[in-house]
Amino acid sequence: MRTVKVELAERSYPIFIGSNLLADKDLISRHLPQHRAAIVTDSVVAPLYLDAFAGALNDAGVEVIRMVIPAGEQHKDWQTLGSVFDSLIAHRCERKTALIALGGGVIGDLTGFAAATYLRGVPFIQIPTTLLAQVDSSVGGKTAVNHPRGKNLIGAFYQPLAVIADTATLATLPQREIGAGLAEVIKYGLIRDPAFFSWLEANIDALTRRDDDALGYAIQRSCENKAEVVAADEREETGIRAQLNLGHTFGHAIEVGTGYGSWLHGEAVAAGMVIAARVSRHMGLMGDDEVTRIVTLLKRAHLPVVAPDLGVDHYLDLMGLDKKVEGGKIRFILLRAIGSAFITAEVPQDAIAAALVESAHHG
């Protein structure tokens, strides 16, 4: 088992990464403050893992309350959140009853927000079962639901007590979801870890065919990168954590503009990172060769690099609701080089327009 620590003083917590951790009843139960816990999962994950996981907790003497919500980004909303609160109240869950998120980023984000707000905050544990959730969304305490007009607009920063990433669960993930997770893995190389980017270029085929060692290392290195960023800027106040949003300003516009669930989040981020790289190139920050390296790696991960043609004005309108907007100006994460990102509001409109038009027509 690999362990990564998120260092946040009294809110510090471990990330455990390894195969078959769901069956390790002691690993999970030792983080529970009482012998009762509520598991929130979705309609796809439940038939695969809920019985075995709940059974392991029962063996550890934990009474389990099960909540199954419909799978998919389109259900990461206020209404589904309300159904979780209804269930928590119906089962008389208390301040020490932990909420356990068993699933992908949708489950983790929604359950985390429920944990942050139910009774003003209850213990929370992340059990991520998608690659994307194991490398990104389960770590760092961002929780949220979507608004029809914008991604993750309603949420809270709320750290879990532990993250337990069972890599064996990745065996049942559809191939498209592996690609979506790899987009966020590639993101870490692009924003701050050029050696990792080179390692990914050498190992991308092993990752797409789910080689255990390659996946284990990629998950560990991603979590190490994320843990360092979150420790430096937990609440996204200094611009450091905002770098994790490379490609997301464009990506969120793609997700909302095409309708939640049509493009996977990781796919939209991949196309968004290509647009951000091209904006950087149009501003003279990066060369053609680096943009080509980025596009090539994303394609090898079977990710989309051509963005939907929503029209420049519609993109700008959708991006106007981005959480990074400050004083009415959209702030973008751009690249000085592979491995070096920064945030800026000083981006010429013609560079954005040119990158959007180019990305709607070229891979």
The site for ligand GLY (CB under 6 A) is made up of 136, 140, 142, 241, 244-245
| Torsion region of 94: left, alpha or beta (phi above 0 gives left; psi -120 to 50 gives alpha) | beta
Q: Pick between residue 142 and residue 278 the one whose CB is nearest to ligand GLY.
A: 142
Distant-in-sequence contacts of 289-295, Cβ < 8 A, 24+ apart? 290/335, 290/337, 290/338, 293/201, 293/338, 294/186, 294/190, 294/338, 295/363
Cβ contact 247:311 at 8 Å: no
| Binding window for ligand NAD (CB under 6 A); candidates: 2-10, 30-38, 102-110, 115-123 | 102-110
| Binding window for ligand NAD (CB under 6 A); candidates: 4-12, 125-133, 212-220, 322-330 | 125-133
Backbone φ, ψ for residue 290 (5° rounding): -70, -40
Active site residue 248: yes
Residue 48 binds to ligand NAD (criterion: CB under 6 A)? yes
Active site residue 300: no
Cβ contact 307:250 at 8 Å: yes
Residues 144-163: x where in contact with ligand NAD by CB under 6 A, - otherwise, as a string: -------xx-----------
The active-site residue out of 177, 184, 234, 255 is 184
Euclidean distance between CA atoms 296 and 274, whole angstroms? 10
Q: Pick between residue 97 and residue 243 the one whose CB is nearest to ligand GLY.
A: 243
Active site residue 265: yes
Interface size with ligand NAD, residues (CB under 6 A): 31
Q: Pick between residue 53 and residue 332 the one whose CB is nearest to ligand GLY.
A: 332
Backbone φ, ψ for residue 151 (5° rounding): -75, 135
- Nearest 5 degrees, angle CA 337-CA 339-CA 342? 70
Sheet holding 63-69, edge to edge: 2-6, 13-18, 162-166, 124-128, 98-103, 36-42, 63-69
130 binds, among ligand GLY, ligand NAD, none (CB under 5 to 8 A by kind): ligand NAD
The active-site residue out of 36, 221, 241, 324 is 241
Residue 76 binds to ligand NAD (criterion: CB under 6 A)? yes
DSSP H/E element including 230: helix 212-232
Residue 169 binds to ligand NAD (criterion: CB under 6 A)? yes
Nearest distance from C-beta of residue 250 to ligand NAD, angstroms: 14
Residues that bind ligand NAD (CB under 6 A): 42, 44-45, 48, 71-73, 76, 103-107, 109, 129-130, 132-133, 136-137, 140, 142, 151-152, 169, 172-173, 177, 180, 265-266
Active site residues: 120, 142, 184, 226, 236, 241, 245, 248, 252, 265
